Amino acid sequence: MSTLTRSPAWQALATQQKKIAAAGLAELFAADPARAGRFTLEAAGILLDYSKHRADAETMRLLVALAAQAQVPQWIAKMFAGDPINGTEARPALHVALRSRDAVFPAGRDVMTEVRATRERLRRFVGEAHGGALRGASGRAITDVVNIGIGGSDLGPRMLTRALRRFHKPGPRLHFVRNIDPADLDAALAGLAPETTLFIVASKTFTTAETLENAGRARAWLEATLGKTADLSRHFAAVTANLAGAAALGVPQERVFPLWDWVGGRYSVWSAVGLPVAFAVGMDAFEELLDGAHSMDEHFRTAPLERNLPTVLALLGIWYVNFFGAQTRAVIPYCEDLRELPAYLQQLEMESNGKRVDRGGNEVDYDTAPVVWGASGTPSQHSFHQLLHQGTRIVPVDFVVAQEPRPSAAQTGLAANALAQAAALAFGNPAPGAPHKALPGNRPSSTLLLRRLAPRELGALIAMYEHKVFVEGIIWNLNSFDQWGVEHGKTLAHTLVPRLLGSGEAADLDSSTRALLERLRKRD
């Protein structure tokens, strides 16, 4: 048994689970008329109602004890101090610096000078685009911007650009390309004019095959119309920590925006990786997003564990994964503009904590990150909610709802559906004599209410999830900031390309891969 599963806090929770499993949510509510208020937290424009969880005050006390045992406050302090908490890569995880308001941060290793300088460069660049001063090789103004990137260099900007649709300013249209499948770039470029198109090549490493392939194809597309002698550098910008890589693609130095090794890809939307968002909403709104994230950082850094919104969410995550055996968690934004949020959180949570070896290199004997999935409500109700209500699995849900200052009838219907789903999951519906119609209830969910769907609240929401993932990682004793698991597949794919082209030897491959490869080689 690991130190964690043997620990007093863990054992106490295992005992507590048996007590709670016998009680229904309806009983927990009946036993405590003030439960809804008691199990609600608010910070940085986000309200979390966690009353519909299978937990009582004693459960929360024990979960907080687990966090204290894992030294969560000390780890939070280490992150904000810029300690190298990404142990396998000997780096700090300092994404909080990207939204810091401090003149010097962190103490002893100031990164703010370069952060601020980059933000100023972004402001000028975005201003040029909105002022029509951003021009292509032929002198015509840029009308379309295509972000080429994948993973953290795609999911954040894509999600936020859509989420902030109502804040878009007149300016270039935004497009996103990530897949090495040429269909992705082809579809994005259909209808665009090379003369008026700018590509942002976003890649922290500038070695990612998908991104480099698409950047090469984009260049060829420009060349085919504008000619080899045109100044194609006017059609590119780059965001990267690999300045030499961007230069090799021909991106002029003044169009290369830096990233740093202390920013993880999936934590990078606050950096120049967020350039498409800034193009869409303007730099002022982008900075409001950063401010919202900073407010959540401050809450996370200073609030006591039991009132700490990301920590409470993390503890509930652990409660279900480790004590109820939940294998998945659904994220259902009742907000079409947040439809990309589940995909964003998939990378954030599954790439951060989808690990089976602890910080000391030992295999763990407890489950770690669940499968995160979801889709926007209400369409999700007509797709997978049947399983949520009547299936055999426990699937905790995060319902994300945005308040509307003056909701239309349709928006009222949207909110009503969100509340109805959470209540139906929690309290079920008996159907005497018709078991097929009965909803058993007792199915947990959080409701996250955003003051409104605006830059500040979105910044706070995303920062909240980042910190939730961090706290889970601390308790599971994981390094949440590396992703070694994805490397081997990249190497294998690299070795298979020449063999698919017919030139490489296939004898060393397993029989399944070899047979599929041979089938793919036959081009008739």
**Interface pick for ligand F6P out of 98, 122, 150, 238 (rule CB under 6 A):** 150
Q: Is 389 a catalytic residue?
A: no
Closest CA to 200 of 130, 274, 138: 274
**Interface pick for ligand F6P out of 86, 153, 376, 477 (rule CB under 6 A):** 153
* Whole-number Å distance between alpha carbons of 78 and 491: 34
For the CB of residue 274, give the shortest distance to ligand F6P in the complex, in Å. 13
Count Cβ atoms below 10 Å from residue 517 Cβ, excluding itself: 16
Using CB under 6 A as the binding rule, whether residue 157 contacts ligand F6P is answered as no
* Stretch near ligand F6P under the rule CB under 6 A, chosen from 32-40, 198-206, 249-257, 305-313: 198-206
Q: Is 336 a catalytic residue?
A: no
**Interface pick for ligand F6P out of 91, 175, 178, 204 (rule CB under 6 A):** 204
**Interface pick for ligand F6P out of 136, 151, 258, 274 (rule CB under 6 A):** 151
Using CB under 6 A as the binding rule, whether residue 354 contacts ligand F6P is answered as no
For the CB of residue 202, give the shortest distance to ligand F6P in the complex, in Å. 7
**What ranges in 169-208 are assigned the alpha helix state H?**
182-189
* Stretch near ligand F6P under the rule CB under 6 A, chosen from 33-41, 174-182, 201-209, 290-298: 201-209
**C-alpha dihedral, 348 to 354 to 358 to 362, nearest 10°:** -160
* Whole-number Å distance between alpha carbons of 207 and 447: 40
Q: Closer CB to ligand F6P, residue 283 or residue 350?
A: 350
* Stretch near ligand F6P under the rule CB under 6 A, chosen from 86-94, 116-124, 202-210, 465-473: 202-210
For the CB of residue 208, give the shortest distance to ligand F6P in the complex, in Å. 3
Using CB under 6 A as the binding rule, whether residue 515 contacts ligand F6P is answered as no
* Whole-number Å distance between alpha carbons of 44 and 299: 8
For the CB of residue 150, give the shortest distance to ligand F6P in the complex, in Å. 5
**Which 471-490 positions form the footprint of ligand F6P (CB under 6 A)?**
483, 486
Using CB under 6 A as the binding rule, whether residue 274 contacts ligand F6P is answered as no
What's the token pair of residue 27?
Answer: 């009983």
How would you class 250 by CB atoms within 10 Å of its CB: exposed for 0-12, middle for 13-18, buried for 19 or more? middle
Pair 294, 101: CB distance under 8 Å: yes
Pair 183, 360: CB distance under 8 Å: no
Total binding residues toward ligand F6P, as defined by CB under 6 A: 14
Using CB under 6 A as the binding rule, whether residue 205 contacts ligand F6P is answered as yes
* Whole-number Å distance between alpha carbons of 347 and 219: 29
Query: What SS3 state is found at 428?
Result: coil
Pair 196, 141: CB distance under 8 Å: yes
**Interface pick for ligand F6P out of 92, 136, 245, 265 (rule CB under 6 A):** 265
Using CB under 6 A as the binding rule, whether residue 428 contacts ligand F6P is answered as no
> What mask, x for binding ligand F6P by CB under 6 A, covers residues 8 to 47?
----------------------------------------
Please pick, among 169, 490, 494, 518, the residue that the annotation labels catalytic: 490
**What ranges in 71-150 are assigned the alpha helix state H?**
72-81, 112-130
Q: Closer CB to ligand F6P, residue 195 or residue 210?
A: 210
Using CB under 6 A as the binding rule, whether residue 352 contacts ligand F6P is answered as no
* Whole-number Å distance between alpha carbons of 207 and 230: 26
Q: Closer CB to ligand F6P, residue 201 or residue 316?
A: 201
The structure tokens 């652990």 sit at 318
Query: What SS3 state is found at 258?
Result: strand
Q: Closer CB to ligand F6P, residue 268 or residue 368?
A: 268
Query: How is the beta sheet containing 197-202 ordered, strand by strand?
Result: 173-177, 144-148, 197-202, 236-240, 256-258
Please pick, among 210, 340, 349, 351, the residue that the annotation labels catalytic: 351
Q: Is 382 a catalytic residue?
A: yes
How would you class 373 by CB atoms within 10 Å of its CB: exposed for 0-12, middle for 13-18, buried for 19 or more? middle
CA distances in angstroms from 418 to 125, 126, 202, 413, 426, listed in the order given: 40, 37, 36, 9, 13
**Interface pick for ligand F6P out of 152, 333, 377, 444 (rule CB under 6 A):** 152
309-318 and 455-475 helices, crossing angle to 10°? 50
List 198's β-bridge partners, or say none: 145
Q: Closer CB to ligand F6P, residue 353 or residue 445?
A: 353
For the CB of residue 437, give the shortest distance to ligand F6P in the complex, in Å. 45
Using CB under 6 A as the binding rule, whether residue 208 contacts ligand F6P is answered as yes
Count Cβ atoms below 10 Å from residue 486 Cβ, excluding itself: 10
> What mask, x for binding ligand F6P by CB under 6 A, covers residues 370 to 409?
----------------------------------------
For the CB of residue 97, give the shortest distance to ligand F6P in the complex, in Å. 18
Please pick, among 18, 382, 488, 522, the residue that the annotation labels catalytic: 382
Site for ligand F6P, rule CB under 6 A: 150-153, 203-205, 208, 211, 265-266, 351, 483, 486
Q: Which residues are catalytic?
A: 351, 382, 490
